[in-house]
Amino acid sequence: MRRHLLFAVVSGIVLTGQLLPAQTVPAPATSPTAPAPAPKKKSSSKAPATTAASAWTPDVQQYLGVQQGSFTMVGLNRLSKAQLEALVNAAKNATAGDPRKHLLTCGPTTPSQTGATRVWVTVAGDDAQGLRLAEIRQAIRGLSNVEIVDAADSADRALHVVIQEQTLGKRIIGYTASYMTSTPCHDDFRKADAEVKGQLGTYTDPKGADLGRDLAGMLDQDLQAVRGAR
């Protein structure tokens, strides 16, 4: 999502003049008078102006790449109606007439019924029986306000893991893992799936069942950073 900032430029005005010799003029004699009463302050009865709230529209999806289900998640609901319209108009002007400039559509089409962040998990590498995938999913289910989904188009966030067995002789002593978090998207211009990459990392020390717990802890911090950026 492109962010457009508007900068206000304030012009400064400098007044110049000439210094003239001072002349002494006697002040006229006046009789003491009572000070004039201070003017009364007028009370304002006007009610404070209310700001119209923003709401999702088809233009938000077309030009900002945010579907209705992700409108609140990405924080657009915090904008006023005027601010959202200005953002959409700026995106329209940025993409008009240039097919190379296009936006990704990210997030699921429908909002979560529980308000949880939906996570899609994939595991590749040395996990033919899917045991590591099951351990990782089980650990992620223990996180607060997180829901596991089975497809990218249903997810707010993705976690991709590549597992490698660590052996000593013929005995497996543990597993190492490389991981990447991302936001699943769709490139409507190229008609292809796409992702906005998040964190990249590797666990190099062999681990057993606690590999799932370590990945879940990393994902929890990743999701907190994403939520804090809304």
For 177-211, write each residue's pLDDT tens digit: 999 999 998 887 778 888 888 888 988 888 877 89
The closest alpha carbon to 70, from 191, 196, 171, belongs to: 196
- The amino acid present at 169, given as its one-letter code, is G
The closest alpha carbon to 195, from 142, 98, 122, 130, belongs to: 122
**What does the pLDDT read at residue 36?**
57
Coil, strand, or helix at residue 128?
A: coil
Higher pLDDT, 52 or 101: 52
Task: Say yes or no to pLDDT of 143 above 90.
Answer: yes
For 48-69, write each residue's pLDDT tens digit: 556 678 888 988 887 777 878 8
Task: Say yes or no to pLDDT of 43 above 90.
Answer: no
Q: How far apart are CA 116 and CA 73, in angstroms?
A: 10
144: pLDDT confidence band, cut at 50, 70 and 90? very high
Q: What is the mean pLDDT of residues 13-42?
A: 44
Task: Say yes or no to pLDDT of 20 above 60.
Answer: no
Is 3.40.50 the CATH classification of the domain at 117-228? yes
Task: Say yes or no to pLDDT of 89 above 80.
Answer: no
Q: How far apart are CA 219 and CA 121, in angstroms?
A: 11
Q: What is the mean pLDDT of residues 32-50?
A: 54
**What does the pLDDT read at residue 50?**
63
Per-domain boundaries in the chain? 58-102, 117-228
